[in-house]
């Protein structure tokens, strides 16, 4: 049966501006919030195979991701935990702790800027050119990104305003590109695009290499049109980033007036959250009594999610 790790009632920490934004963009109304949370909670409680948190703050992230549509929020929950329970993803989600991806964080492959952009969105930085494939697999990069997203989505402002990605492809060459197989790209993009309760509001590419067309040809077919419409290509025109991020917050390597980007603070934030991730590992989707084991040959989550009643992506 679904459970809760924290039964405390939701206490709103939003500014007046964010309250208005949540109502206008996400259909979130303060006077209906408790009712909406309870409606989603009751849907979860009817699924004995779901053993997850049902506290107000946790369920809100799924409601906000789907603009307070109960059915879509519930479907997202089922997809999220189906994804994590799928045997094909075992290597991605076993022992999913910040300490297990410290080498990725220390290398600076993925991180988060300390300041938000002009629209209040968190800014993730992804620098695959700093990945040495001879030292660890691409799975570790996915895990590091997933852990960062899991931490970011705890923030109410991130739930409402979303995030953007600054993808710096400097030094990315054949040794990294050849590891990006189409089936692998399909799985990873599908996991994040369709199964995570975060609003992905933009992707900004800089320093695209000569082989970028090859890279993008691999990942483009698996991206939804909504995401494709939010992609920006800047090359070395770093000044264009100031349209989205205040210049004083842009790292100096992108010709902003901010200090050079380091991942030390974000790494410390994640490592200090180790116990939270240990607790989260207790929750998930368990095999329901009396139901056949689910098998799925498709590389996407569609047939897995379709194995559950009431799932309609």
* Tens of pLDDT, residues 229-279: 999 999 999 999 999 999 999 999 999 999 999 999 999 999 999 999 999
Query: What whole-number distance in Å separates Cα of residue 96 and Cα of residue 144?
Result: 9
Strands across the sheet containing 122-126? 110-112, 122-126, 163-168, 200-206, 231-235
Which tens digits make up the pLDDT trace of 146-193? 999 999 999 999 999 999 999 999 998 888 888 877 767 777 787 778
Whether 164 and 202 have beta carbons less than 8 Å apart is answered as yes
| Whether this model's pTM surpasses 0.85 | yes
Domain 16-90+283-306 fold: Helicase, Ruva Protein; domain 3 (1.10.8)
Q: Which region holds residue 148: left if phi is over 0, alpha if psi is between -120 and 50, else beta?
A: alpha
- DSSP 8-state assignment for residue 288: P
pLDDT reading at 306 higher than 60: no
Q: Give the pLDDT band (50/70/90) at residue 7.
A: low
Start-end ranges of CATH 1.10.8 in the chain? 16-90+283-306
Start-end ranges of CATH 3.40.525.10 in the chain? 96-271
Q: Torsion over CA of 97, 98, 103 and 107, rounded to 10 degrees? A: 140
Domain 96-271, architecture per CATH: 3-Layer(aba) Sandwich (3.40)
Query: What whole-number distance in Å separates Cα of residue 107 and Cα of residue 208?
Result: 20
In angstroms and rounded to an integer, the radius of gyration of the C-alpha atoms of the chain is 20
Q: Give the pLDDT band (50/70/90) at residue 287.
A: low
Query: What whole-number distance in Å separates Cα of residue 278 and Cα of residue 95?
Result: 8
Pairing assessment for the beta strands 50-51 and 122-126 based on DSSP bridges: unpaired
């Amino acid at each position: 049966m679904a459970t809760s790790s924290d039964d405390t009632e939701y206490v709103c920490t939003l500014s007046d501006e964010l309250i208005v934004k949540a109502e206008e963009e996400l259909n979130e109304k303060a006077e209906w919030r408790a009712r909406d949370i309870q409606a989603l909670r009751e849907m979860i409680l009817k699924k004995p195979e779901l053993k997850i948190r049902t506290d107000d703050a946790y369920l809100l992230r799924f409601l906000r991701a789907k603009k307070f549509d109960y059915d879509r929020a519930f479907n997202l929950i089922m997809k999220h935990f189906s994804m994590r329970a799928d045997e094909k993803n075992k290597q991605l989600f076993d022992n999913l702790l910040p300490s297990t991806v410290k080498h990725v964080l220390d290398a600076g492959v993925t991180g988060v800027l300390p300041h938000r952009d002009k629209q209040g969105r968190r800014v993730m930085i992804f620098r695959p050119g700093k990945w040495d494939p001879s030292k660890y697999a691409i799975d570790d990069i996915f895990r590091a990104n997933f852990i960062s997203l899991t931490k970011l989505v705890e923030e109410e402002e991130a739930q409402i305003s979303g995030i953007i990605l600054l993808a710096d492809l400097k030094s990315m060459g054949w040794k990294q590109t050849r590891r990006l197989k189409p089936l692998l790209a399909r799985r990873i993009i599908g996991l994040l695009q369709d199964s995570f309760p975060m609003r992905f509001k933009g992707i900004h590419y800089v320093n695209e290499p000569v082989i970028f067309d090859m890279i993008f040809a691999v990942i483009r077919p698996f991206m939804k049109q909504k995401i494709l419409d939010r992609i920006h290509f800047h090359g070395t025109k770093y000044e264009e980033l100031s349209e989205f991020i205040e210049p004083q917050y842009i790292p100096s390597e992108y010709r902003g007036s901010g200090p050079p980007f380091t991942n030390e603070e974000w790494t410390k934030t994640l490592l200090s959250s180790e116990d939270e991730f240990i607790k989260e590992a207790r929750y998930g989707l368990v095999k329901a009594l009396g139901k056949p084991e689910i098998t799925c040959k498709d590389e996407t989550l569609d047939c897995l999610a379709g194995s559950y009643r009431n799932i309609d992506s």
